[in-house]
């Protein structure tokens, strides 16, 4: 679980600073579509936990209610888009490992695009399964602390009953980590506690991270951004250590 806190920081920073609202909405709509498609065209969030989670994540990026409703209606219909989920593994410069999760309606386009981003930025696409061992798949639930009206020590005890493995208490968010197999259990437990999540997802947490000088770290951040700019890419996981030096440098740019 090395790099846990640093990983949460960079994920939270990215979410807070991302100005590309259209890309966020596109990814949220894809998540809604897949949740409905994989549950027999079930567009009812009351009986489709994956859809409930997708809707909550869409709300987390401030997607308007009518946009969410239109996405559900379209995904539930006969003319719904068909998406395939794909993963890619490879190395960027300086030995940084990448695990890329995509949702696409054109596999050939996505493969070509991911390979091109790697090769044009000093990296290389590997074979599936070659780097998966470098990451531990975890359920990650982010709560808005302003929305929690209860003692955090008591809350942690309640969450452990729901499968919580560890926690991170940041200035404005509270992060819960679970085993991959306990993701659904925790989602249900939070509902029973009437706690709404800001975001809930399965993440690939690096088991070990690599610390680089500032210049090289910026090169990796640039590569991360190129992947995230691709419409087919849903998530980018990597082994770069988010150092205090890098954090301070980014703070100065804000």
| Per-residue pLDDT tens over the stretch 199-219 | 899 999 999 999 999 999 999
CA 164 to chain CA mean position, Å: 18
What is the band of 17 on the pLDDT scale with cuts at 50, 70, 90? low
Per the DSSP assignment, residues forming a β-bridge with 90 are 98, 125
Handedness of CA 123, 126, 131, 137 (dihedral sign): positive
CATH topology of domain 135-206: Alpha-Beta Plaits (3.30.70)
pTM, to two decimals:
0.85
What dotted CATH number matches 84-133+209-253?
A: 3.30.70.980
User: DSSP labels for 190-225?
Assistant: HHHTT---SEEEEEEEESS-B---HHHHHHHHHHHH
pLDDT average, residue stretch 51-69: 91
CA distances to 3, 7, 36, 122, 232 from 247, rounded to whole Å, are 14, 12, 38, 24, 28
178-186 long-range contacts, Cβ below 8 Å, gap at least 24? 178/138, 178/139, 178/140, 178/141, 179/138, 179/139, 180/137, 180/138, 180/139, 182/139, 183/139, 184/49, 186/139, 186/141, 186/159, 186/162
pLDDT band with cut points at 50, 70 and 90 for residue 22: confident
CATH topology (fold) of 20-76: Arc Repressor Mutant, subunit A (1.10.10)
Residue 12 pLDDT grade (very low, low, confident, very high; cuts 50, 70, 90)? very low
Residues of the chain with CATH 3.30.70.980: 84-133+209-253, 135-206
Eight-state DSSP code of residue 241 = -
Q: What is the pLDDT of residue 249?
A: 81
Contact 89, 129 (CB under 8 A): yes
Contact in structure between 233 and 102 (CB atoms under 8 Å): yes
DSSP-based three-state secondary structure for 64: coil
Which band of pLDDT confidence, cut at 50, 70 and 90, is reported for residue 3? very low
């Amino acid at each position: 679980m090395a790099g846990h806190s640093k990983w949460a920081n960079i994920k939270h920073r990215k979410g807070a600073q991302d100005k590309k609202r259209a890309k966020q909405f596109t990814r949220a709509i894809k998540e809604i579509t897949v949740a409905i498609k994989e549950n027999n065209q079930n567009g009812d969030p009351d009986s489709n936990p994956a859809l409930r989670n997708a809707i909550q994540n869409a709300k987390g990026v401030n997607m308007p209610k009518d946009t969410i409703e239109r996405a559900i209606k379209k995904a539930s219909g006969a003319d719904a888009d068909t998406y395939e989920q794909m993963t890619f593994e490879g190395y960027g410069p300086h030995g940084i490992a990448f695990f890329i999760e995509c949702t696409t309606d054109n596999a050939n386009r996505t493969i070509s695009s991911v390979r091109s981003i790697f090769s044009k930025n000093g990296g290389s696409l590997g074979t599936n399964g070659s780097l998966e061992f470098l990451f531990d798949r975890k359920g990650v639930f982010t709560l808005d602390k302003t929305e929690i009206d209860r003692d955090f020590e008591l809350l942690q005890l309640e969450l452990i009953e729901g499968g919580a493995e560890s926690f991170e208490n940041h200035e404005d968010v509270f992060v819960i980590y679970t085993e991959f197999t306990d993701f659904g259990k925790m989602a249900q437990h939070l509902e029973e506690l009437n706690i709404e999540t800001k975001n809930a997802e399965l993440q690939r947490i690096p088991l070990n991270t690599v610390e680089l000088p500032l210049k090289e770290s910026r090169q990796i951040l640039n590569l991360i951004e190129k992947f995230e700019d691709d419409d087919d890419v849903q998530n980018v996981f990597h082994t770069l250590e988010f150092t205090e030096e890098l954090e301070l440098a980014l703070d100065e740019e804000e």
